Amino acid sequence: MKRTTLGLSIIALSAALTAGSAIAGGGPRGQQPMAPVTPTLDDAEAAALLFMREEEKLARDVYTMMDDAWNAALFVNIATSEQRHMDSVKRLLDRYALPDPALEDAVGYFSDASLQALYDELLSRGEGSYLDALQVGGLIEEVDIEDLADAIAATDNTDLRTLYDNLMRGSRNHLRAFAAEIERMGVPYEAQHLEQADVDAIIDSPMERGGSNGGQNGQGGNSGGGKGGRR
């Protein structure tokens, strides 16, 4: 499957935050110290952040539906984590006065047409079997990892880099959890989007902690059938 890219049309960007007004009080020789200025985002950074909001929503929505289909605690746990990721992105959208593309938060609805098509495809694939659903989860996380790496490389904004680093840590944990459940079923996990060596390096390393609840994101790795997951 071709990589989902961040180079999509920009969604009605609003103006970024402007400089704060002067703070009353005396600086040297009566100069007025200025409030810190929130850096603005360029169009590419804003588009990436907007896209990331719905990409995290896609993961949450697919995992929610996979839990409905297969009654597996692993999907519940990771869907909950994806909601936290969505919330983290929303905080930065608010900080930079950007419109929320996921304002209509119904499961399975996306303002971005490419994400809508991808959601429909993944949902159909994941309904085939429990193993198919787990493979869909692995694919989503591999694509997320690459998209996040691209977004990090394309910005020097500290807010964005911190957010994306945390989201990527979570995605690596999610990939470890899906791969562990697939291998528990006796099927070796094979890379679906990233290079096999890169995937092996991730799944052969331990769960990560810190950041956006990174240590908890994939801790359900042994809980795929915790609610009676069907095969």
Domains of the chain from N-terminus onward: 40-206 (1.20.1260.10)
3-state helix, strand, coil in the chain (%, to 5): 55, 0, 40
Look up tokens 């996040």; give the residue. 148
Which pair of structure tokens corresponds to residue 93?
A: 């959208």
More confident residue, 30 or 113: 113
Number of H helices, E strands in the chain: 6, 0
More confident residue, 23 or 53: 53
Output the pLDDT for position 214. 36
Q: Is the pLDDT of residue 226 over 60?
A: no
More confident residue, 18 or 76: 76
Confidence of residue 38 (pLDDT cuts 50, 70, 90): low
Confidence of residue 104 (pLDDT cuts 50, 70, 90): confident
Per-residue pLDDT of 203-217, as tens digits, reads: 999 999 864 443 333
Q: Which of 21-25, 30-34, 85-89, 153-157 has the lowest mean pLDDT?
A: 21-25
- d(CA 115, CA 52) in angstroms, rounded, equals 11
- d(CA 167, CA 217) in angstroms, rounded, equals 10
Look up tokens 């990233």; give the residue. 194
How does DSSP classify residue 97? T
Output the pLDDT for position 11. 29
Output the pLDDT for position 10. 29
Output the pLDDT for position 163. 98
Whether the Cβ atoms of residue 221 and residue 177 lie closer than 8 Å to each other: yes
Query: Which residues are registered as beta bridge partners of 34?
Result: 22
| Phi, psi for 152 (deg, rounded to 5) | -65, -45
Q: Is the pLDDT of residue 129 over 80?
A: yes
Question: What is the mean pLDDT of the segment spanning 140-147?
Answer: 98
Q: Which of 19-28, 59-68, 127-136, 146-155 has the lowest mean pLDDT?
A: 19-28
Cα separations in angstroms, 39 against 17, 36, 95, 101, 151 = 8, 9, 10, 22, 17
Q: Three-state DSSP class for 186?
A: coil
Q: Which of 38-47, 70-79, 140-149 has the lowest mean pLDDT?
A: 38-47
pTM of the model: 0.78
Indicate the helix (H) or strand (E) that contains 122. Answer: helix 113-126
How deeply is 182 buried, as exposed, middle or buried, from its count of CB atoms within 10 A (0-12, 13-18, 19+)? Answer: buried
Q: Which of 2-6, 55-59, 73-77, 193-197 has the lowest mean pLDDT?
A: 2-6
Output the pLDDT for position 40. 86
Cα separations in angstroms, 173 against 36, 65, 190, 204 = 36, 20, 16, 11
